[in-house]
């Protein structure tokens, strides 16, 4: 045990998935309204030392997926189906108190908006020491220097002063770093990052991303990266899942996916973003319509009304997810 | 004033008639007050601290910078929503900064703003028709009922919304459609200049492209001049003809869009461009990042000298700490005359004479976690 902890080497990165999500579905039910399926049969694996991306636009179900895995969805008004097995334990069936123990210790999560995930009336230092006390059984006295060390290592300048500061006294980038420090406090084996840099400026984003990359490379932590930014994905993720309307529509290693996008949605996303490295002046090719135009998946492809190359079968039959190795595609009429 | 001579060098063929917007020496300082009985001013936030900005008729000027750099405040100062503490803003020959009350309101017909968040900038209780007519009526453009109806139809067609949208309310639309309404509202009074503050950053990627394309089409159709304020460098590069980069209340570099991205000269611009992730794994693997240390200093206590010197990897012992650099034309072969930089050492940095210092890396996360795991195992 001590061996693996002191020598965090790539050898630790096994082939066995650390987290294995199978057929995850989340349906929200409200009185007087049609049930809404936000996540619809999502499956993916994450191995130690691997970064897996979940990419998509607002409403594609990427955040609900992570909340369901973390057991953070409200207890009423929704149905979660499928399994999320973490080293053989199905997180979705775990009693609340056992899940609470795992959260923070084995699995940590960082959110998009650091201000709303920090307690505004507790100093940053205390929030970090609390994690150490709760999950590592440290005394407050023992935890304090460790908390200071953590803040220092995630690049917060003047950590002694910052320990006493309250969240509102920190800048957005520093708050996000404080959250990462809290997430790191227990050396989690799985880290779920939900749009961790979306609220930040690019230079700060670069700092945070390099911190995450370092974490994955040095400690073999498995990272699930949830983002809408294809640029972030291109630099960070080993494997990318593209979500649309609650389902995975395409999957591949980052090199494959970006070099050879087969789903019209993935292709459309790449064509619609202005790029720093491309020629300037060519008009962008947007994806027409918006997510409001989606068809239900039952008897069609949800993306068909916005698709650049729909065929008749697209509005008559649900396309299955065809998998071969890492690559997967859900489309009746793929690009090329 | 060195700035004025630099200006003359930078854009020699510019006769004044060519300029639609001419802002000079604009400063916006917000007082910081404290005290219960008496408001005592204990300091200022130097949000915009001396900016010269010229926008030619028909062009798109992009203003980029990170949050807190003062770009939005500058935009507001330009259209008179935030009276400048100092400086002049002239639009089409009239000094707007000195206008007040009804005179300013009347002039607002010429310059309109498109805001970032279409949900909070559209009154939820007004129908689209009433939102659009309000501005037209205020400027006496809605006197003839028939003509107004025709004009409303035309506006909706221009921004790509169906005529049925007139009777609907903002909440019935998606984010992209709401931004179209915001643009139609700005267009309704036939402005010359549109200041767009983060027009697409609240939108999904696929919808962003629709709005960007729309802005470009409308520019050609209605002879519009744009000042686009944004933090997304790729978006700004795509739509702008010229770009100004702001840092902590001042412009640090200004150039034609292609020049700026092909050859950034200011250390901050270099760092900014190197930090933007590109959706191409091959390029990402090759990318050399200039990681900046620390955060933006507080605009209430801006550093002396060059404002960027606290984070600059190329900082020198002399000049940087105590002499504030002005925007100037640099003498480097192949750099266009409109390319101006506020850096004392731009030439030496470009030639490689001055090398960046590597920002001391902190111990790795790995060391930290390994060390700590030991501690906990014992305990």
Among A203, A234, A306, the residue with its CB nearest the CB of B66 is A203
Asked if A273 lies within 8 A of B279 by C-beta distance, the reply is yes
Mean pLDDT of chain A: 88
Which positions 68-127 of A are in contact with B (Cβ < 8 Å)? Answer: none
Does residue A214 form part of some domain? no
Per the CB < 8 A criterion, the answer to whether B302 and B248 are in contact is: yes
Per the CB < 8 A criterion, the answer to whether A51 and A236 are in contact is: yes
A140 lies in which domain range? 115-185
Phi and psi (nearest 5°) for B204? Answer: -65, 155
Kindly state whether A32 is in contact with chain B, defined as any CB-CB distance less than 8 angstroms.
no
- B157-184 b/e (C-beta count within 10 Å ≥ 16 → b): ebbbbeeebbebbbeebbbbbbbbbbbb
pLDDT of residue A312: 95
Q: Which residue of B has its CA nearest to A254?
A: B281
* Sequence-separated (6 or more) residues with CB below 8 Å from residue B294: A157, B310, B311
Q: Which of B228, B231, B227 is nearest to B65 (CA)?
A: B231
Q: Which of B115, B113, B211, B126 is nearest to B171 (CA)?
A: B126
pLDDT band for position B18 (50/70/90)?
confident
Does residue A171 form part of some domain? yes
pLDDT band for position A5 (50/70/90)?
very low
Count CB neighbours of B62 within 10 A: 25
Distance (Å, whole) CA A169 – CA A163: 11
Does the structure show a pLDDT above 80 at A293?
yes
How far is the alpha carbon of A2 from chain B, nearest alpha carbon, in Å?
Answer: 7
Which positions 330-349 of B are in contact with A (Cβ < 8 Å)? Answer: none
Strand order in the sheet with A36-46: A36-46, A19-28, A78-86, A89-90
Q: Which of B204, B260, B252, B202 is nearest to B231 (CA)?
A: B202
Q: Is B57 exposed, middle or buried (0-12, 13-18, 19+ CB in 10 A)?
A: middle
Domains in chain B with CATH codes = 2-117+214-366 (3.40.50.300)
* Sequence-separated (6 or more) residues with CB below 8 Å from residue A132: A138, A142, A143, A146, A147, A185, A186
* DSSP annotation of A211: H
pLDDT of residue A12: 44
Tell me the pTM. 0.84
Does residue A127 form part of some domain? yes
- Over residues B352-374, the mean pLDDT reads 60
Q: Which of A266, A150, A269, A260 is nearest to A215 (CA)?
A: A150
Phi and psi (nearest 5°) for A218? Answer: -85, -35
In total, chain B counts a number of residues equal to: 379
**Rounded alpha-carbon distances, angstroms, from residue B152 to B13, B113, B167, B172, B231:** 40, 19, 12, 19, 32
Asked if B275 lies within 8 A of A205 by C-beta distance, the reply is yes
3-state helix, strand, coil in chain A (%, to 5): 40, 20, 40
Does the structure show a pLDDT above 70 at B353?
yes
Asked if A210 lies within 8 A of B291 by C-beta distance, the reply is yes
Kindly state whether B370 is in contact with chain A, defined as any CB-CB distance less than 8 angstroms.
yes
Does residue A145 form part of some domain? yes
How far is the alpha carbon of A92 from chain B, nearest alpha carbon, in Å?
Answer: 28
User: Mutate which of A165, A221, A274 to disrupt the B interface (most B C-beta within 10 Å)?
Assistant: A274
Does residue A167 form part of some domain? yes
Does residue A133 form part of some domain? yes
Q: Which of B228, B244, B266 is nearest to B338 (CA)?
A: B244
Give chain A's domain count.
1
* Sequence-separated (6 or more) residues with CB below 8 Å from residue A278: none
Give residue B221's Cα distance to chain centre: 24
3-state helix, strand, coil in chain B (%, to 5): 40, 20, 40
More confident residue, B117 or B126: B126
Does residue A126 form part of some domain? yes
- Report pLDDT digits (tens) over A37-93: 999 999 999 999 999 999 998 889 999 999 999 999 988 889 999 999 999 899 999
Distance (Å, whole) CA B116 – CA A212: 30
Outline where DSSP puts E strands in chain B. 19-34, 40-56, 60-64, 86-91, 94-95, 111-114, 193-197, 225-230, 242-247, 250-256, 328-329, 340-341
Does residue A121 form part of some domain? yes
Pairing of strands A222-227, A247-253: unpaired
- Report pLDDT digits (tens) over B190-215: 999 999 999 998 888 888 899 999 99
pLDDT band for position B359 (50/70/90)?
low
Pairing of strands B60-64, B225-230: parallel
Does the structure show a pLDDT above 60 at A20?
yes
Per the CB < 8 A criterion, the answer to whether B343 and B252 are in contact is: yes
Distance (Å, whole) CA B354 – CA B357: 9
């Amino acid at each position: 045990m001590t061996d693996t902890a002191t020598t965090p080497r790539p050898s630790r990165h096994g082939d066995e998935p650390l987290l294995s999500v199978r057929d995850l579905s989340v349906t929200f039910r409200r009185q007087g309204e049609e049930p809404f399926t936000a996540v619809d049969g999502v499956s993916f694996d994450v191995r130690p030392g691997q970064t897996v991306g979940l990419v998509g636009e607002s409403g594609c179900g990427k955040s609900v997926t992570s909340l369901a895995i973390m057991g953070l969805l409200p207890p009423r008004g929704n149905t979660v189906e499928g399994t999320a097995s973490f080293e053989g334990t199905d997180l979705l069936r775990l009693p609340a108190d056992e899940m609470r123990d795992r959260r923070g210790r084995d699995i940590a999560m960082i959110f998009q908006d650091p201000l709303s995930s920090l307690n505004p009336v507790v100093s940053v230092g205390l929030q970090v020491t609390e994690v150490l006390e709760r999950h590592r059984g440290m005394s407050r006295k023992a935890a304090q220097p460790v908390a200071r060390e953590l803040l220092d290592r995630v690049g917060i300048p003047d950590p002694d002063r910052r320990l006493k500061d309250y969240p509102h006294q920190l800048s957005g980038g520093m708050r996000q770093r404080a959250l990462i420090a809290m997430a790191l406090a227990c050396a989690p084996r799985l880290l779920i990052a939900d749009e961790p840099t979306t609220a930040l400026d690019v230079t700060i984003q670069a700092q945070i991303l390099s911190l995450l990359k370092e974490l994955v490379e040095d400690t073999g932590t498995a990272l699930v990266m949830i983002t809408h930014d294809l640029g972030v994905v291109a630099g960070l993720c080993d494997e990318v899942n593209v979500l649309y309307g609650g389902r995975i529509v395409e999957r591949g290693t980052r090199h494959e996916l970006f070099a050879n996008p087969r789903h019209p949605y993935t292709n459309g996303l790449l064509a619609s973003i202005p790029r720093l490295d491309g020629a300037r002046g060519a008009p962008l090719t947007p994806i027409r319509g918006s997510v409001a135009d989606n068809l239900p998946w039952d008897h069609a492809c949800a993306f068909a009304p916005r698709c650049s190359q729909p065929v008749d079968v697209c509005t008559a039959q649900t396309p299955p997810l065809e998998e071969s190795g890492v690559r997967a595609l859900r489309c009746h009429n793929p690009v090329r | 004033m060195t700035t004025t001579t630099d200006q003359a060098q930078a854009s020699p063929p510019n006769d004044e008639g060519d300029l639609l917007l001419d802002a000079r020496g604009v400063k916006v300082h917000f007082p910081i007050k404290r005290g219960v009985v008496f408001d005592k001013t204990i300091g200022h936030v130097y949000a915009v601290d001396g900016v010269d900005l010229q926008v030619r008729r028909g062009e798109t000027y992009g203003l980029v910078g990170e949050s807190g750099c003062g770009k939005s405040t500058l935009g507001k100062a330009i259209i008179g929503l935030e009276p400048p503490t100092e400086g002049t803003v002239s639009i089409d020959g009239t000094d707007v900064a000195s206008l007040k009350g009804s005179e300013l309101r009347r002039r607002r017909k010429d310059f309109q703003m498109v805001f970032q968040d279409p949900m909070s900038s559209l009154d939820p209780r007004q129908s689209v028709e009433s939102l659009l007519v309000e501005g037209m009526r205020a400027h006496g453009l809605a006197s003839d009922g028939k003509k107004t109806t025709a004009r409303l139809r035309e506006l909706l067609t221009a921004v790509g919304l169906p005529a049925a949208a007139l009777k609907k309310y903002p909440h019935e639309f998606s984010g992209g459609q709401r931004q179209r309404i915001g643009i139609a509202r700005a267009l309704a009074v036939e402005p010359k200049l549109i200041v767009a503050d983060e027009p697409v950053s609240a939108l999904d990627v696929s919808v962003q492209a629709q709005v960007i394309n729309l802005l470009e089409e409308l520019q050609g159709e209605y002879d519009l001049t744009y000042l686009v304020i944004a933090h997304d460098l790729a978006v700004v590069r795509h739509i702008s003809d010229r770009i100004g980069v702001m840092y902590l209340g001042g412009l640090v570099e200004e150039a034609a869009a292609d020049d700026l991205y092909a050859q950034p000269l200011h250390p901050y611009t270099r760092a900014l461009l190197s930090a933007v992730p590109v959706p191409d794994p091959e390029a990402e693997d090759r990318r050399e990042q200039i990681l900046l240390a620390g955060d933006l200093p507080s605009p209430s206590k801006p550093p002396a000298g060059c404002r960027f010197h606290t984070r600059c990897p190329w900082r020198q012992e002399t000049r940087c700490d105590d002499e504030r650099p002005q925007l100037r034309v640099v003498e480097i072969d192949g750099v266009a005359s409109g390319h101006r930089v506020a850096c004392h050492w731009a030439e030496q940095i470009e030639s490689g004479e001055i090398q960046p210092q590597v920002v001391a890396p902190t111990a790795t996360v790995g060391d930290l976690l390994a060390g700590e795991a030991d501690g906990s195992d014992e305990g």
